[in-house]
Structure 1
Amino acid sequence: MLYAPDGSGRGLTPPVDATAAERLAGLAEQVQEWAVEALWSEGAPAVWPHCPAHPDTHPLVAAVVAGAAVWVCPKSGATVARIGALESGARPR
């Protein structure tokens, strides 16, 4: 369960019949949706995780590339980091 500061919660559901990388990317996408909603409800910029190449423009997208769960820039298609390995600048503010 993930809980927002207002006390609301959200459960996570891993994708069924998926590879480990697909399950991780699916869970990361659910966490991202929760984080964006929590940020928005607090009046903060609802962009997370931040794209280091395009700050405050769009969030990164969870994907599976070459068998690994990664964060990808939706504009350039570039892989930014493995999920779980983002640098501190890409974390929620």
Structure 2
Amino acid sequence: MEINVRRIAELASLDISEADIPRFERDMEEIAAMVSELPNIDGNGYAQTPMELRSDTVEEIEYSREELMRNAPEVVNGCFAVPRTVEY
């Protein structure tokens, strides 16, 4: 599949240097190939061959919450505090 990175960059208002174009084309072609290998969905909205998911298991750990929180740069109400990533 041929992907026009210059056109995509133009539509998305991205500034991509000419030197980076071949790398982006290669990466996007690999992504498109990977997506084309995903299972097909029939008309009912279900995958014909569903993907197998791993089962989650709960494991006890030897550390208390307080011990783990000691490594956090900032704790608020017993939770890790992180910088805001979305502006309102």
Greater helix share, 1 or 2? 2
Higher relative CO (Cα under 8 Å, sequence separation at least 6) belongs to 1
Q: TM-score, normalised by structure 2?
A: 0.29
Answer with 1 or 2: which has the greater Rg. 2
Point out the structure with the larger strand share: 1
- Using the size of structure 1 for normalisation, the TM-score is 0.28
